[in-house]
Amino acid sequence: MRIVTSIPDMHRIADAERAAGKRIGFVPTMGFLHAGHMSLLHAARARCSTVVMSIFVNPIQFGPAEDFARYPRDEARDLAMAEEHGCDIVFLPSREDMYPDGFETSVDLNRSTIPLEGESRPGHFRGVATVVAKLFNIVKPHMAVFGQKDAQQAIVIRRMTRDLNMDVEIVVAPIVREPDGLAMSSRNAYLSTEERTEALAISRSLRLAESMCAGGIRDPQRIADTVGDAIRSSGRVSVEYARLVDAETFEDAPAMAGDRPALLVVAARVGSTRLIDNTILSWKDTI
Ligand code: PAF
């Protein structure tokens, strides 16, 4: 596995891989890797001959009161895991190279920044879209893999590639969960043992919504309210939002939405840790 830290070196390597007829698959991450990230690597490996993973904790996607400074980092462990799981190249840029003095340009979004995560975390998607656009320009991938856990992020990135005519295929890989249902996330490292147990209320509430949907309930508000109440009643987890939205547009899902799958999205705080999770509810399959 090659470790690349300079942007010009990464450009040269990407050009050489492309010239050799290789298909480059890309997994952008902020490190502190877990099995969810490994599933993204495997998805890239299944589709591509060269797999590149970036590890970069992107300062511009964190708000001033968010966890940039304490975001968990363990480079040695990350590199060992990436190698063990067949990554070919790890790109590890520095903050100074990514955002040198005088950095001015960003990728902005309109409608998709408004609801849910965009509302709760102003500027977050501008930061994500900007760094992903930069990484695409540096790594020059044919395809890139994102996790369904950050469902809105995946939609924002897909929208960006379409709107800006980027020739990168976006693949979204399913959420990977711990055996007890907790969605894997680097931020789970913040949870105490007690908080981790309380956090299970989130995935449990998603299963509840799935069974309501399978039982024929089609009222988005009722499902979302039941989910919110189930999380709140289980302990000290506070719900930031629990909403049923159209899986493509992130607008509120209409009742009896027909063919289009709806996405149940939840953001909640357990102690000082903010967690997000979601599940796709397919009305059609369950009618
Ligand atoms: O999902 C993440 O880890 C980050 O938002 C990403 C896509 C690597 C951009 O910094």
Nearest to 112 by CA among 80, 150, 59: 150
The residue-averaged pLDDT of 265-284 equals 93
Nearest to 32 by CA among 57, 9, 69: 57
Q: Is 28 in the pocket of ligand 1 (CB under 6 A)?
A: yes
Q: Is 17 in the pocket of ligand 1 (CB under 6 A)?
A: no
Mean pLDDT of the chain: 94
CA atoms of 245 and 241, how far apart (whole Å)? 12
Tell me the CA–centroid distance for residue 95 and ligand 1, in Å: 15
Q: Return the half-sphere exposure (C-beta side, CA atoms, 13 A cut-off) of residue 131.
A: 25
Task: Provide the β-strand partners of residue 131.
Answer: none
Task: Provide the β-strand partners of residue 242.
Answer: 266
- Measured by CA distance, the residue closest to atom 6 of ligand 1 is 29
Please indicate whether residue 124 or residue 259 has the higher confidence score (pLDDT). Answer: 124
Q: Is 161 in the pocket of ligand 1 (CB under 6 A)?
A: no
**Model's pTM, two decimal places?**
0.96
Task: Provide the β-strand partners of residue 279.
Answer: 264
pLDDT in tens, 247-266: 888 888 876 556 678 999 99
39, 125, 146, 153, best to mutate for ligand 1 pocket (most atoms within 8 Å of CB): 153
